[in-house]
């Protein structure tokens, strides 16, 4: 069940003068996307939201937009080479997903960069300040510190006896480490103990699972980056096998088998990315474009996953959900 409404306003285009149409289509914009995980596609949640956001501003593939997409498939050391490929393809702008890709673009090119999912850009040193980023990079900033209390409250509604949460994150990713620390601090202020489980490679997940089995927490919070996403099914399976509720940072992970998420709305976030790209295309410099923050959030619940671990979702919580998967 989805309550989100998409509105793509195309009406009125036929009334434009032919000369205006010709001018609008005379420039073809080339946009590169770069991430540490899989390359964006038109079908995946991030790629689809980006394409929608650009289309709403008049940038349409096959007309005046070309997307060059690269993904490192978890091999961070491949990012510099992939960045070089994008630069060689003469892109006008690069959209990065995740901190490693943003860092590679910051140091590897002078092209304008719009970053998303890179954590706290000031804390990681990507920019000088949110208001005045400086350099060639702007984007959408992290809001984990604000979201953690809400996520803990949601877990407490599912698990009234919640006392201890296992937090799983990529310890080799500074952006995700800072996101973990913000989540840890938020949980502790609510009196919730944290079991820190940093991973650096796929083999580390077995160690994390063993640690949880040795000292079981009441729930799991998975910090999302390329490493945890590529191994998400293992987390789903562990949570199901041990009847542990787990909360995730994006609704598509719940659609994919996770239990619950409270997250920034992807369409709004990528709509803001598209708007920043549009301003850069029109002459703005990234250094002068403040980092923005998400303002709209989505609560998603997977009832099938809830039933599998023996949790009955309170009706009040279901009533607040933006998406319910069965």
Domain ranges of the chain: 13-141+265-295, 144-264+298-325
pLDDT band at 113 (very low <50, low <70, confident <90, very high): very high
> What number is the average pLDDT over the span 133-162?
90
What pLDDT is recorded for position 19? 34
* 222 confidence band (pLDDT: 50, 70, 90): very high
Q: Specify the CATH architecture of the domain 144-264+298-325.
A: 3-Layer(aba) Sandwich (3.40)
Mean pLDDT of 31-37: 96
Would the pLDDT of 322 be above 70? Answer: yes
Coil, strand or helix at 212: helix
Q: If pLDDT is split at 50, 70 and 90, which confidence band does 21 have?
A: very low
Q: Which CATH architecture has domain 13-141+265-295?
A: 3-Layer(aba) Sandwich (3.40)
Longest dimension (CA), the chain: 70
Containing 307, the helix (H) or strand (E) segment is helix 303-308
Q: 77: closest CA among 112, 104, 50?
A: 104
Residue 6 has pLDDT above 60, yes or no: no
Q: Is the pLDDT of residue 2 over 70?
A: no
- pLDDT given at position 18: 37
Please state, in angstroms and rounded to a whole number, the distance separating the CA atoms of residues 235 and 239: 6
Which pLDDT score is estimated for 22?
A: 34
| 8 Å CB contact between 113 and 96 | yes
């Amino acid at each position: 069940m989805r309550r989100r409404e998409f509105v793509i306003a195309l009406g009125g285009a036929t009334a434009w003068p032919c000369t205006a149409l010709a001018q609008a289509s005379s420039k073809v914009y080339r946009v590169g996307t770069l991430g540490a995980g899989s390359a964006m596609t038109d079908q995946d949640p991030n790629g689809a939201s980006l394409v929608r956001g650009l289309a709403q501003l008049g940038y349409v593939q096959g007309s005046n937009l070309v997307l060059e997409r690269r993904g490192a498939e978890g091999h961070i050391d491949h990012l510099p080479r992939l960045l070089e490929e994008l630069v060689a393809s003469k892109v006008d702008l690069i959209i990065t997903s995740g901190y490693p890709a943003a860092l590679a673009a910051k140091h590897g090119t002078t092209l304008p960069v719009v970053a998303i999912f890179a954590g706290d850009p000031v804390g990681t040193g990507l920019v000088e300040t949110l208001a005045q980023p400086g350099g060639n990079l702007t984007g959408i900033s992290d809001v984990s510190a604000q979201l953690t209390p809400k996520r803990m409250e949601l877990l407490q509604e599912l698990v009234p006896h919640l006392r201890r949460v296992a937090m799983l994150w990529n310890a080799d990713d500074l952006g995700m480490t800072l996101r973990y620390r913000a989540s840890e601090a938020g949980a502790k202020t609510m009196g919730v103990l944290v079991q820190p489980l940093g991973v650096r490679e796929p083999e580390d997940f077995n160690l994390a699972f063993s640690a949880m089995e040795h000292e079981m927490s009441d729930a799991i919070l998975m910090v999302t980056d390329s490493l945890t996403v590529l191994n998400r099914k293992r987390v789903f399976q562990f949570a199901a096998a041990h009847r542990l509720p787990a909360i995730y940072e994006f609704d598509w992970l719940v659609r994919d088998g996770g239990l619950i998420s409270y997250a920034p709305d992807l369409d709004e976030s990528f709509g803001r990315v598209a708007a920043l790209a549009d301003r850069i295309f029109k002459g703005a410099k990234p250094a002068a474009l403040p980092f923005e923050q998400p303002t709209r959030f989505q609560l998603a619940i997977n009832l099938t996953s809830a039933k599998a671990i023996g949790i009955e979702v309170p009706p009040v919580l279901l009533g607040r959900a933006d998406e319910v998967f069965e």
